Each structure stands twice: as structure tokens, then as C-alpha cells.
Structure 1
Amino acid sequence: MKKVTLFFTSLFSAVLAVFLYAQFSNTETSSAVTERNVQPIFQNVNLTKSSSEVVSDFTSAAEKTINAVVHVTNFQERSGFSLFDFMYGSQNGGYQNEIEAGSGSGVIISPDGYIVTNTHVIKNSSNLNVTLNNKKSYKASVVGSDAEFDIALIKIETQDDLPFLAFGNSDSAQIGEWVLAVGNPFNLTSTVTAGIISAKARSLSERNPQSFIQTDAAINPGNSGGALVNTNGDLIGINTAISSRTGSYVGYSFAVPSNIAKKVVEDLLEYGKVQKGILGISTMNENSSEAIELGLDQIEGVYVANVSEDSGAERAGIKEGDVIKKVNGVKIGKFSALVGYLSSKRPGEKVKVAVDRDGALLEFDVELSKLMTVDLRNLGLRVKDLTEDDQKNYKRKTGVKIVAASQSYRNYNLEGKLLIAINDNEIKDINDAEERSNNLRRNKNYYTALTLIDQNGEKERILFD
């Protein structure tokens, strides 16, 4: 009996052990599988409407722009002698014909046919032809141009109102903002490329600082004079330059800001030439050894190295050593930014200039003055208009004062003398002096005659080859 009892006790224990082992084993296996099947949590980012609206905006902006961009063809006269002329002589001085010398794009800015383009597109033209996006062609006349800003204004005559673009505010354009470059380079139809604003107030020359909008939208040579617009279709720039070794697009393109282009156009219409309003300060080349030694290459702003006599800056109280930080609330980080902002202003306008003076931020109301000096590059002279004191000292109201001369004049002591005529053409002010000087190269005179008056009031005449 004891043996039977022991047998069942052992059997029960064995069954219980097997049961418990199975239970624990199943639990562990289930736990392991459960851990492997846990799903990671991913956060979904919903696309904002702006991503889809960008494409819509591109379409809308392109539609508003393409019909206002035109193709401009530059025709120039060529003359010469044919083989027949060389062999048998010519009674009419050889032949003359007109060839297509170049082309570019333009932007219609008024319904009555005013078109803005680049000066280099229309330079030396004898005739201009404008082709609209609908393939209609018109003869164009030049209203005016400015080589420094590379902006020209031309006009076509038509009975129909034309599609046009209004100037936008380029000061409000932001780095990183999407833009479209629209041109008509091959006299086909307008083409559109997209990119972003890479930089503002970009200067391409230290000798002649300017203020360009830099973009990575593809702009090729035939697009010069075309439109740079934002996604609203606002005209914020006139495409003008490409930075590359080949002359074709490699990633960097530049446009004249619309605020500058608009002011140039208005000046050409009203005055026939650009009116420049200046503060009356000069700065130091930030890459010069002197500037680097003073740490000026590291500052943010424009260092005032000199204040011109009787200028708006001097009258307002700006001093040498000040650092210009803002103009009318617009941040000024470098000299090209200052040049760019002031290029949209005229003499007589007032601006609020904020400067850093020994750590203190001061503000001055400055009335912009007329440009008083000009470089006569064909003569190697720098001249300025006469001040009231000059007029009293020299006892005359017309002429320009020579303030600097090239080394070729070192034996003539020209500094301080008045220049009153070039080749017997009277000079009243710096505008006359600049025009007379520019005409020297075109007329190819065998000599140049300068009529001068010295500090004693004595007149002298100097001839140069």
C-alpha cells in the first residue's frame, strides 16, 4: 500500500513539475515575441500650404511677367571697302550696311511703351528693334542711359496698351527668398528660371562700388535687361551681369535693385541724366593695409574716414571716426549697402543716419547734397564745383576747381587752379567738365587745350598731345 501511495506521490510531483516548467517556458517565449513586435513611434510632419503655394506662386508670377518682357536687338552701321572698290576705286567712299551687333532683353514698365533694359544692350546702336512676346516687332528710340548703373530707357510707339510690370520695393527683398529671372534671349518667347536671393548689396568692383542683388537663378547673356521678380510677380531687379570665366551662367548672377532702376529711369525722364545725392563722406578700402591694421575689415558698418567740407554730413555733425550703422532704419553692413541705398535718393532729400561714436549710438538728420566732384578719366583730373568761398576768392561763378591730377601733370602744378574751358568749350560746372572730357575720345583730337585760371586770377592755356 505504501508503495502505491509513494508511486502516485512521485507521479503527481513529476506532472506538477512538467506543468510548472511549461507555464514558465511559455511565459518567457511570449514575452520575447512581444518585445520584438513593438512598433517604433514615428512623428509625421504635415506639409505646410506654403510648399504647394510656392509652385502656384511660380505659375502666377510667370504668367504676370512673361508678356511684359521683350527681346531687344541692337543694329549697328558698318562701313568699309569691297574688293571692287580697292581695284577700281570708289566714288561714294565705300559701302555702308547695318548688321545685328547684339541683343538682350527688356522690361515694359508702362502701357504706353517705355522699356527699361541695360546700357550695354543698346550701346553704340544705330537702330533698335523690340519684339514682344506675341512676336510683334517695333522700332525703338533711346530716351536716355546711364553707364554707371547699366540702366537704359527706350520707347516704342504703339496704339495698343501694352502689358507692363510695376516696380516693387527691392529694399524689402530678403536673402533666401524665391525669385524668378525672366528674359527673352533668343527672340523666341520669354523664358523663366527660378532661384533664391543669395546676397544683397553685392559689389563687383572696388574702384566703382555698386549694390547688386545676387541670385542663383540662371541668367545667360541674352537675358541681360530682363526682369527679376518675386513670387508675387513684383519687379525687384533688372538682370545685368554674370560672374563666370566663360560669360555664361555658372551659378552667380546679378541684378540692379528695382529701387535704383526706378530712380535712374525717373531721372532720365525728368533731367536727362542721373541726379546723385551724397552724404559727403569718404571711407577707407577695408582690404587696404591701413584698414586691416586699424581693424576696420572686421567692423559691421561704414567707417567715416573723411567728411567733405560744406557737405550735408558736416552740417549735420557727422565726424571722422564715426561708423555708420543705419540709414532711415535700414541696416548698413558695408559701403556697397550705403551706396545702394543712397543711389535711390536725390540731392535735397533728407535721411536719418545712425552712427556708432565711441560706443554710443547717435542719430543725425542729413540733407543729401549734390555730387560736387567728378573724375575726368580722359584727362586724368579730379574736379569739383565751386563753393561760395571759391567764387569769392577767384571772383567768378563758373568753372571747376582741380583737386587732384595724375602724375603726367606733375610739372604743371594744376591742383587749386580753375578749369574754365576744354578745347575752347566753356565749362560752367562738373556736368560740363564731364561731358567735354567724354567727348575727347570720340572726337579723337590731335591735341587737348585746357584753359585755366590760377589763384592770382591769371589765365593760362596748356596744350597736351
Structure 2
Amino acid sequence: MNVRLNSPRALVLALSAAGVIGAVGAGAYTSANAVGSPTPAVAAPMVTMPDFSAITTRNGPAVVNISVTGTMKTSMEGVAGIPGMDPDDPMFEFFRRFQGQMGPRGKQPLQREMPVRGQGSGFIVSADGIILTNAHVVKDAKEVTVKLTDRREFRAKVLGSDEKTDIAVLKIDAKNLPTLSLGNTKELKPGEWVLAIGSPFGFENTVTAGVVSAKGRSLPDDSYVPFIQTDVAINPGNSGGPLINTRGEVVGINSQIYSRSGGYQGVSFAIPIDVAIQVKDQIVATGRASHARLGVAVQEVNQTFADSFKLDKPEGALVSNVEKGGPADQAGLRSGDVIRKVDGEPIVSSGDLPALIGQKKPGTKITLDVWRQGARQELSAKLGDASEKANAVAKNDERAGGGKLGLALRPLQPQEKREAAVESGLLIEDAGGPAALAGVQAGDVLLAINGTPAKSIEQVREVVGKADKSIALLIQRDGDRIFVPVRIG
């Protein structure tokens, strides 16, 4: 974890104070010059700051420092093992790396285990020693030590770890420990004050504060978690520590930051406590956490797709591929469907879908609100288990395009159909104009256009002729399927 705090709150407070002065001054001027009864001035509401010291005093003792030790394998390559070559020679580094990769006489280099140490944070959720932290804090750890604020240290046991949500549960042999109260993430609002307590760079019980920037953020490679975004300073060692609201309740677990420099740049992310508690309860009961699986690949719905599929606004998760025999396939989902709601919960961004599905238990029955070929449909699905088969939920990037179609097409030969594992489709022999700008390439297989299977060149011409602003092409390339939006008007 890494972070740093840069906030214009001082300026905001200064402007607020100026607003109060202005309002009072204007009121006095009106009162002094009014004919008849003076109108009392209405003072602007005062800006009050939360008492972070009281929250810290009350909650600090339940936040712990976590030290881990483990090992990693390193090659025993030697820089001095290149006789007769000057270290300043431009080719020295090349041969050094080559020797390190191959070892003497082309053999693999010798390896040895080197000790590795790390630090993180955590917090106590049960007086008998249950502690929550990040999975990446204790990953590959051979020994985990928990240090309390009263300087007592305990050897901790890792009860379980879930990499999909980055949650780990520890247990120490102690009783009557201080604990933190748990809040409700659904009640959390953007702009609300929050603070973090942790051990950045090993500085125990460090307090940083900020505001909630947004909720429900989906991040690349973290599709199971609808993150809380804040501007609270999070740095290495803060990982696993609590994010606390002004009522002293834990609303999240600080997990990671967004940074181009490697240091804090004002954007940090926390795992909602609701997600963490679900995982914790499963790990305590069974030693592992399970997640549901729908079995679809989805991508974002942009304005071009919305125009193509006649959606009122660019929201939802566009299904680009359905896993054969999976829960989605059995429920009747198809490529080109746009999932707009799950059990009444709106899907605004495509990242909302995997986060929502991943929090449900395998075997759960859900209701999907789907947009298909210009009409709303309702489907029911029984979710599978993500641990039984790798989750096929993926978020693909859309490609932009514009103008006319510009494709040279021909029917697939029987052998090409078998190689591509498709029943129908058209081979794209050449792509030019807006189709090429949209990312379509020669050798792609056109499977569908605006959700309709592409069976003939005449059919494609007909669909393009009826289209208004844009069309959506479902193509297959190297075994992967993706929708590509192409503007034609």
C-alpha cells in the first residue's frame, strides 16, 4: 500500500468562512438601510470538524502491527563470473544476465532461499483474538507476528486467505482484547470524513484522515470487490488496517493505491467491510471462502453500443461471450445481451456485474434484467462455484470507430468453422475505413452484427443499411470474442 494526502480542505474552509462574513455583512447593510422593521440576517451554517482524537483514542488499541517472515528463491549468479571482460564493457551486462539465466555450460542457475520480511496492519474484530488483514500482507508467510499497542506480541495463525477479495483472517491466543465496531458500507456517502489507522513504513498507530471520494469502484484484476475510493493517505505498512467513519465504525479495509510514481498520489482504495465480513465468516467456519460464478465475459457499454442496441443510456454489462454449459448458458443468456439489473440491483458499469456476482454464494438463484434486440427480458440463473472452474467473467476494453463499415467478407469454409469452433460466421479478408479504425483486422471472424448472427454477406448489408448511427460487431480473434462498435453515421 502507498499513499499521500493532498487536499484543498483548508481552502474550502477559508472560502466557507468568507461566505459567513459576506452573509453577515450583507445582512447588516440591508438592516441599516431598510424602511420599517429590520430583517434579521441569516447566518450560514458553521463548518465543524470531527474530533479525530476521540476516535483514535477509542479505536487505536484494537489496531495491530503485523510482521511476517518468509523466503524467496534467488539465483546464485555471480557478476564476477565472466573472466577477461571489463565491467564497463557495454556487453558485460548482457553476458552477465545470459550466464545468470543459463548457468555454467548451459545449465539452469543454482538457487537458494533468501529470507524475506514484511509489515502490514490489521484490526481485532473478536475479543478472543480474531484479526482481519489483507491477503497480500501474509502471502507466502512462514511466520506471522502480531504486536498490540500495549507492546505485547503474539505468534498468529493464518486461519485462511482469499486472494480474490484480498482478505485474510488471523487468530492469536489471547482473551478480552479490544475490538472495533463494524459499520455499514451502504450508509457511507461520498464526501464523508474517514480516517485510517495503521503502520505505514513501520510507524505504529499512525493516523491519517480524508474523505470518501467514491464508492463501487471496479479495478483491473480485482473484479470481486466494489472498492471504496478515498483520499486518505495510505502507504506501505497501512495495508490491512481499518478505514473508520466519524462514528468510530470500521467501513473498510485499506488495500491499495493508484500511483504512477510508486508513492501516494491522493487515490487510495479500501475493501468494503460488508465484503470482508462475508469472507471472514466463511473462513472461520470452513477455512476457505467461496465465490459464485455466472460464466460470461462482459465489456463496457459506451454510447456507440447504446445507439447500436437502442438503449436509452450507455449503462449495463454487454455479454461478449457465454461459457458453454455454464450457469449463464443454462439460463439462456446470449452474446449481445446487455445485463442491466441483478435481483433489482442496477448494473451501471460492466465492473458492477462481477463484483455483485462474486459476493453471492454458489448455488444462489438470481434474476437477471436483460436487454435483447431492443426489448427487455427477465431470466433466472443458478450461480456456479468459481473454485470448481476458473471464473470466465472478464472485462474487455471497447474499441472506438467511426464512419462507414468497409469490410471485405466471405463465408467460412467447413474446415475453418471447425478450427474456429463456430457454427456460422464470415471471415474478414480485409478491413478498411471506420471498421479498421475501430480495431477490426483481416483474419477476424465476424460472428454477429447488432446481436444478429452473421450468416451471409447479404444479411450484413441489410443490417448496415437499416442502422442509424452505429453498429456493433461481434468478432472472434485467436479464440477470444469481443464486441467492436463502429460508427456509420
So what's the TM-score if we normalise by structure 1?
0.60
Is this contact kept in 2: 1:221–1:247, CA < 8 A? no
> How far apart, CA to CA, are the structure 2 residues paired with 1:146 and 1:350?
23
Is this contact kept in 2: 1:327–1:352, CA < 8 A? yes
Q: Deviations over 1:274-302 (max 9, x none)?
A: 31212233213668x99998799x72111
Query: Which deviates further from its counterpart, 113-122 or 62-71?
Result: 62-71
> How far apart, CA to CA, are the structure 1 residues paired with 2:54 and 2:341?
35
- Secondary structure of the residue aligned to 1:283 is strand
Aligned partner (choices 36, 50, 63) of residue 69 of structure 1: 63
> How far apart, CA to CA, are the structure 1 residues paired with 2:206 and 2:229?
19
Q: Which residue of 2 aligns with 1:347?
A: 362
The one-letter amino acid of 1:331's match is P
* Residue 252 of structure 1, CA deviation: 0.4
Is this contact kept in 1: 2:164–2:222, CA < 8 A? no
* Residue 166 of structure 1, CA deviation: 4.5
The one-letter amino acid of 1:231's match is T
Q: Deviations over 1:338-368 (max 9, x none)?
A: 2222222110123333333455544444332
Is this contact kept in 2: 1:66–1:191, CA < 8 A? no
Is this contact kept in 2: 1:182–1:223, CA < 8 A? yes
> How far apart, CA to CA, are the structure 1 residues paired with 2:120 and 2:324?
43
Q: Which residue of 1 aligns with 2:140?
A: 124
The one-letter amino acid of 2:148's match is L
Q: How does 1:233-244 map to 2 (within 5 A)?
A: 233-244=248-259
Q: Which residue of 2 aligns with 1:263?
A: 278
> How far apart, CA to CA, are the structure 2 residues paired with 1:218 and 1:336?
25
- Secondary structure of the residue aligned to 2:66 is strand
Q: Which residue of 1 aligns with 2:33?
A: 38
Is this contact kept in 2: 1:210–1:336, CA < 8 A? no
Q: Deviations over 1:81-133 (max 9, x none)?
A: 9xxxxxxxxxxxxx99966x111101112111111111222223222111112
> How far apart, CA to CA, are the structure 1 residues paired with 2:307 and 2:177?
53
* Residue 241 of structure 1, CA deviation: 0.5
Is 1:192 aligned with 2:192? no
- Secondary structure of the residue aligned to 2:260 is coil
Is this contact kept in 2: 1:71–1:185, CA < 8 A? no
Is this contact kept in 2: 1:286–1:292, CA < 8 A? no
* Residue 211 of structure 1, CA deviation: 2.9
The one-letter amino acid of 2:287's match is G
Is this contact kept in 1: 2:363–2:384, CA < 8 A? yes
* Residue 199 of structure 1, CA deviation: 2.0
Q: 1:302 to 1:375 in 2, by over 3 A?
A: closer
> How far apart, CA to CA, are the structure 2 residues paired with 1:61 and 1:355?
45
The one-letter amino acid of 1:123's match is K
Is 1:368 aligned with 2:362? no
Query: Which deviates further from its counterpart, 343-352 or 109-118?
Result: 343-352
Q: How does 1:135-146 map to 2 (within 5 A)?
A: 135-146=151-162
> How far apart, CA to CA, are the structure 2 residues paired with 1:340 and 1:171?
15
Q: 1:346 to 1:78 in 2, by over 3 A?
A: closer
Q: 1:314 to 1:123 in 2, by over 3 A?
A: closer
Is this contact kept in 1: 2:50–2:246, CA < 8 A? no
Is this contact kept in 1: 2:301–2:314, CA < 8 A? no
| Structure 2 residues without counterparts, runs of 5 or longer | 1-29, 77-111, 393-418, 422-489
Is this contact kept in 1: 2:309–2:374, CA < 8 A? no
The one-letter amino acid of 1:142's match is V
Higher relative contact order (CA 8 A, sep 6+): 2
Is 1:55 aligned with 2:70? no
Q: 1:209 to 1:153 in 2, by over 3 A?
A: closer
Q: Deviations over 1:187-210 (max 9, x none)?
A: 554222222221223233169675
Percent of counterpart pairs with the same letter? 38
* Residue 42 of structure 1, CA deviation: 8.3
Aligned partner (choices 251, 266, 274) of residue 289 of structure 2: 274
> How far apart, CA to CA, are the structure 2 residues paired with 1:306 and 1:361?
19
- Secondary structure of the residue aligned to 1:260 is helix
The one-letter amino acid of 2:33's match is V
Is this contact kept in 2: 1:221–1:248, CA < 8 A? no
> How far apart, CA to CA, are the structure 2 residues paired with 1:301 and 1:346?
22
> How far apart, CA to CA, are the structure 2 residues paired with 1:342 and 1:283?
13
Q: Which has the larger radius of gyration?
A: 1
| Structure 1 residues without counterparts, runs of 5 or longer | 1-34, 82-94, 377-412, 416-465
Q: 1:302 to 1:97 in 2, by over 3 A?
A: closer
> How far apart, CA to CA, are the structure 2 residues paired with 1:331 and 1:120?
31
Q: 1:78 to 1:211 in 2, by over 3 A?
A: closer
> How far apart, CA to CA, are the structure 2 residues paired with 1:222 and 1:119?
13
Is 1:150 aligned with 2:145? no
Q: 1:349 to 1:216 in 2, by over 3 A?
A: same
Q: Which residue of 2 aligns with 1:441?
A: none
The one-letter amino acid of 1:219's match is I
Q: 1:375 to 1:324 in 2, by over 3 A?
A: closer
Is this contact kept in 2: 1:303–1:324, CA < 8 A? yes
The one-letter amino acid of 1:162's match is L
The one-letter amino acid of 1:173's match is L
Q: Which residue of 1 aligns with 2:444?
A: none
Q: Which residue of 2 aligns with 1:249?
A: 264
- Secondary structure of the residue aligned to 2:279 is helix
> How far apart, CA to CA, are the structure 2 residues paired with 1:170 and 1:338?
18
Q: Which residue of 2 aligns with 1:220?
A: 235
Q: 1:209 to 1:78 in 2, by over 3 A?
A: closer
> How far apart, CA to CA, are the structure 2 residues paired with 1:229 and 1:360?
44
Q: 1:369 to 1:179 in 2, by over 3 A?
A: same
> How far apart, CA to CA, are the structure 2 residues paired with 1:147 and 1:357?
35
* Residue 225 of structure 1, CA deviation: 0.6
Q: How does 1:376-395 map to 2 (within 5 A)?
A: none
> How far apart, CA to CA, are the structure 1 residues paired with 2:53 and 2:367?
40
Q: Deviations over 1:221-256 (max 9, x none)?
A: 111110112222232211110111333222000111
The one-letter amino acid of 1:75's match is T
Q: Deviations over 1:247-267 (max 9, x none)?
A: 322200011122222222233
The one-letter amino acid of 2:206's match is T
- Secondary structure of the residue aligned to 2:276 is helix
- Secondary structure of the residue aligned to 2:33 is coil
The one-letter amino acid of 2:358's match is S
> How far apart, CA to CA, are the structure 2 residues paired with 1:217 and 1:187?
18
> How far apart, CA to CA, are the structure 2 residues paired with 1:277 and 1:78?
33
Q: Which residue of 2 aligns with 1:3?
A: none
